[in-house]
Amino acid sequence: MSNNHSDQAPGHNKTYSIIVNGRPREVTEHKLTYLQVVQLAFPGEQPSEDVVYTVTFSNPHGKDGSLVEGKDVVIKDGIIFNVARTDQS
């Protein structure tokens, strides 16, 4: 007897619809890190001594907040991220 539901376990292979800086995105990760969100907003860019990113989020299914380097956030469908890039002089 085979288990036909093993590849359909809850939370596996789920795609989440999120918004990053007003643009719809699809992700498969259950959690996103600060750097992953920055990469979704500004592909190919990295935080540095001269460039800082401020990441805030609005979660329609939970708490709103901000995300800082080294931290992550649990992803839910509809979560909205705003990522601002600041050049320091």
Domain that holds residue 29: 13-87
**pLDDT given for residue 49 in this prediction:** 86
Look at residue 8 and tell me if it is in a domain. Answer: no
Look at residue 6 and tell me if it is in a domain. Answer: no
pLDDT exceeds cutoff 60 at 7: no
**Each residue of 16-68: pLDDT tens digit?**
999 999 999 999 999 999 999 999 999 998 888 899 999 999 988 888 999 99
Side-chain-side CA neighbours of 35 within 13 Å: the count stands at 7
Look at residue 74 and tell me if it is in a domain. Answer: yes
Whole-number Cα distances in Å, 31 to 11, 34, 51, 73: 12, 10, 24, 5
Phi, psi of 38 (to 5 degrees): -60, -45
More confident position, 13 or 37 = 37
**pLDDT given for residue 19 in this prediction:** 97
Spatial CA neighbour of 67 closest among 53, 49, 85: 53
